[in-house]
Structure 1
Amino acid sequence: MDIIIYHNPACGTSRNTLALIRHLGIEPHVVEYMKTPPTRALIADMVDRMGVPLRDVLRQKGTPYAELGLDDETLTDDQLLDAVEAHPVLLNRPIVVTPAGVKLCRPSEAVLDLLPGVPLKPFVKEDGEVIIDDAGNRVR
């Protein structure tokens, strides 16, 4: 299965998502988007495939979101994409692309929605939260 994860290793949610994908026996193509940011066209395409507004994939916490005035609802998607292009940290993470779709995987177990038919086995997040129980059932 061809999977791409736009990953930030400094983010616990992103680390948990990557670990969960690997735990299920899949080695994704990992793009550390802070080192290799996706193009604005790719971001726009992924957001379109998600079926959400661009604002839904912007990260506010720990970013220049407020300083750049990105809370201004009159800003266009082109203006928001300009900001993300200049400051990749504004792109929330992790974004996962699979044949089943594209999704911002927050919380990390949201990635399971993109992996239909993959057999589940017990998984616990870094913080000890059980995501898949001993019987292979999704807990959340």
Structure 2
Amino acid sequence: MNSAIIYHNPRCSKSRAALALLEDNNVNTQIIRYLETPPSPQTLKKITKMLSLSPRDLIRTGETEYKEFGMDNQDLSDDQLLQLMSANPKVIERPIVIYNDRAVIGRPPENVLELIP
């Protein structure tokens, strides 16, 4: 059986809804509470490639940490952004679901259905 990975924040309603959709579809799911166990910059780089997004596209710009840590600086390289995102995981868009080397952002939560057969 294939399994999914969800970068999950249990306090986020979209994240909880995405996880519920995976469970409702009997998808074996590894839950990573990314605020407690942040993905490394290398993992984030792989995720952005799977999503076909730049690191900047994966940042929640409304979080105070976004400006506080200078992530709004357009001169930052992708690698610098990935380092900052890993160090400040609250700014990472959520939830991210990976299944069979494909990934989606669960906003709306129904996006996860694109991944499962």
TM-score > 0.5, shorter chain as reference: yes
The CA RMSD over aligned residues, in Å, is 1.3
| TM-score between the two structures when normalised by the length of structure 1 | 0.77
CA contact (8 A) 1:63 1:89 kept: no
Question: What's the CA shift for 1:67?
Answer: 2.1
Q: Deviations over 1:19-61 (max 9, x none)?
A: 1110111230101011111111011011112111111111122
Pairing 1:3–2:36 present: no
4+ residue segments displaced more than 3 Å? none
Aligned length: 116
Q: Which residue of 1 aligns with 2:31?
A: 30
Code of the aligned partner of 1:54:
P
Aligned counterpart, 2:103: 102
1:100 is displaced (CA, Å) by 5.7
Gaps of 5+ in 1: 118-140
Counterpart of 2:115 in structure 1 is 114
**Higher relative contact order structure (alpha carbons within 8 Å, sequence separation ≥ 6):** 2
Counterpart of 1:80 in structure 2 is: 81
Distance in 2, Cα, partners of 1:36 & 1:86: 10
Match of 2:92 in 1: 91
| Fraction of identical pairs, as percent | 36
Whole-angstrom CA distance in 1 between matches of 2:28 and 2:64: 30
Stretches of structure 2 lacking an aligned partner (at least 5 in a row)? none
Q: Which amino acid aligns with 1:85?
A: S
